């Protein structure tokens, strides 16, 4: 068990051996910062309303928005309604994409914040393994400094050491940007924001995927 210290931050390399330490911190309703393939993200135990509230308070969002959930194909139905397009896309996980799906009504209101939909993602193999090992959902939010996502361990340690009990050192994020955003609540899966995976990458795999007019320029 990791003993929490409000002033000292434990630094661990992100690999399979880090999972027990991460679980220990999350079970104590504390927050961890993990370096993923996309960005560094703040993660809490989604089964704990107290932990979810802590994450939301820490982020100080300037407007209401749902939090994200790290998940994978065999666990996503625990938190969301999964239409066929989303199921097909999750079959590609791990992949740096983020899916918009409809949340299950049982989710903590602190996660959804009154919104019908949530964001789910599994950007890399470490997240895939971490989700499989956790007995609770992993709720997350992108770590930012000055409005920009944190994408390196150097920045993560500089700005967050002493604020969270554990930082998972993922080095410099492979993609250094948020995942391609795909809305799966529309009649056809629709790319809402460009990211590491392009429309051309996805079209052969998901022929029905489309671009909205504002991204066709």
Domain limits, the chain: 10-211
pLDDT reading at 6 higher than 60: no
Q: d(Cα 203, Cα 48) in Å, to the nearest integer?
A: 38
Q: Are strands 10-13 and 166-169 parallel, antiparallel or unpaired?
A: parallel
Banded model confidence at residue 67, pLDDT cuts 50, 70, 90: very high
pLDDT reading at 64 higher than 90: no
pLDDT reading at 2 higher than 70: no
pLDDT mean over 182-208 = 95
Go through the chain and tell me how many residues it has. 217
Which of 3-12, 39-48, 196-205 comes out lowest in average pLDDT? 3-12
Domain 10-211 listed as CATH 3.30.1490.20: no
Banded model confidence at residue 18, pLDDT cuts 50, 70, 90: very high
Residue 212: per-residue pLDDT: 82
CB atoms within 10 A of CB 49: 14
User: What's the mean pLDDT when you consider all of the chain?
Assistant: 94
Q: Are 153 and 171 in contact (CB under 8 A)?
A: yes
Tracing tokens 């990791």 back to the chain, one arrives at 2
* pLDDT tens sequence across 30-57: 999 999 999 999 999 999 999 999 999 9
Banded model confidence at residue 104, pLDDT cuts 50, 70, 90: very high
pTM value is 0.94
Residue 194: per-residue pLDDT: 92
Residue 217: per-residue pLDDT: 60
Q: Which long-range contacts (CB under 8 A, 24 or more apart) does 150-158 make?
A: 150/39, 150/40, 151/39, 151/40, 151/176, 151/177, 152/35, 152/40, 152/176, 153/35, 155/40, 156/33, 156/35, 156/40, 157/9, 157/11
pLDDT mean over 152-173 = 97
Looking at the DSSP bridge assignments, the partners of residue 100 are 119, 183
């Amino acid at each position: 068990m990791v003993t929490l210290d409000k002033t000292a931050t434990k630094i661990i390399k992100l690999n399979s051996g880090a999972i027990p330490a991460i679980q220990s911190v999350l079970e104590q309703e504390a927050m961890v910062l993990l370096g993923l393939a996309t960005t560094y993200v703040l993660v809490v135990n989604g089964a704990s309303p107290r932990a979810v509230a802590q994450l939301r308070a820490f982020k100080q969002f300037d407007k209401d928005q749902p939090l994200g959930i790290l998940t994978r194909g065999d666990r996503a139905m625990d938190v969301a309604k999964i239409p066929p397009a989303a199921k097909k896309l999750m079959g590609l996980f791990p992949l740096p994409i983020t899916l918009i799906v409809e949340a299950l009504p049982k989710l903590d209101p602190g996660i959804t914040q009154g919104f019908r939909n949530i964001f789910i993602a599994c950007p890399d193999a470490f997240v895939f393994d971490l989700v499989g090992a956790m007995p609770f959902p992993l709720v997350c939010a992108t770590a930012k400094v000055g409005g920009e996502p944190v994408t390196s361990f150097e920045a993560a340690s500089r700005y967050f050491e002493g604020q969270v009990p554990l930082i998972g050192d993922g080095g410099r994020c492979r993609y250094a940007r948020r995942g391609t955003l795909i809305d799966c609540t529309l009649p056809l899966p629709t790319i809402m924001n460009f990211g590491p995976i392009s429309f051309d990458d996805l079209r052969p795999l998901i022929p029905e995927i489309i671009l909205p007019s504002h991204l066709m320029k």
